[in-house]
């Protein structure tokens, strides 16, 4: 398991892989960036999403070629649990996804968890934007 922690504009940003444990210092609500770049990631992210929703995820940002499919499945979980205040977005483009995640998700107020440590390009983009 790989995990990095940053402080970005007063918020905690964690970059970790899909199998990592959530940081204990998160608080009640957080935003997650989930990859859906291939079928394996899509499946792993679909499996993780209900647990993240239960743990307080207030916004899901999906990134990758299959991001729209992941987004639609997460919307189904949200509807099933009647947590209609949870936001979902999807972006096929990495730069667009990273910019939204860091600068706009949850009104730039909540801690961020990017479960993308297995993606050099996504992690590098986030790191470049964080500075």
The pLDDT tens digits of the residues spanning 33-59 come to: 999 999 999 999 999 999 999 989 999
Closest CA to 90 of 29, 35, 17, 46: 35
The secondary structure of 18-42 as a DSSP string is: TTPPPPTT--S-EEEEEE-SSHHHH
- pTM > 0.85: yes
Cα Rg, the chain, nearest whole Å: 13
The pLDDT tens digits of the residues spanning 76-124 come to: 999 999 999 999 999 999 999 999 999 999 988 899 999 998 888 999 9
Say if strands 11-16 and 3-8 run parallel, antiparallel, or are unpaired: antiparallel
Domain definitions of the chain by residue range = 1-6+47-130
């Amino acid at each position: 398991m790989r995990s990095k922690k940053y402080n970005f504009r007063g918020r905690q940003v964690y970059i970790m892989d899909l199998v990592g444990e959530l940081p204990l210092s998160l608080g009640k609500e957080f935003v997650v960036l989930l990859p859906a770049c291939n079928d394996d990631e899509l499946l792993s992210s679909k499996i993780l999403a209900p647990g993240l929703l239960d743990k307080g995820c207030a916004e899901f940002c999906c990134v990758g070629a299959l991001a729209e499919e992941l987004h639609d499945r997460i919307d189904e979980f949200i509807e099933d649990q009647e947590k209609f205040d949870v936001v979902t977005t999807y972006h096929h483009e990495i730069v667009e996804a990273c910019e939204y995640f860091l600068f706009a998700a949850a009104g730039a107020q909540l801690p961020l968890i990017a479960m993308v440590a297995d993606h050099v390009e996504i992690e590098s983009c986030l790191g470049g934007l964080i500075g």
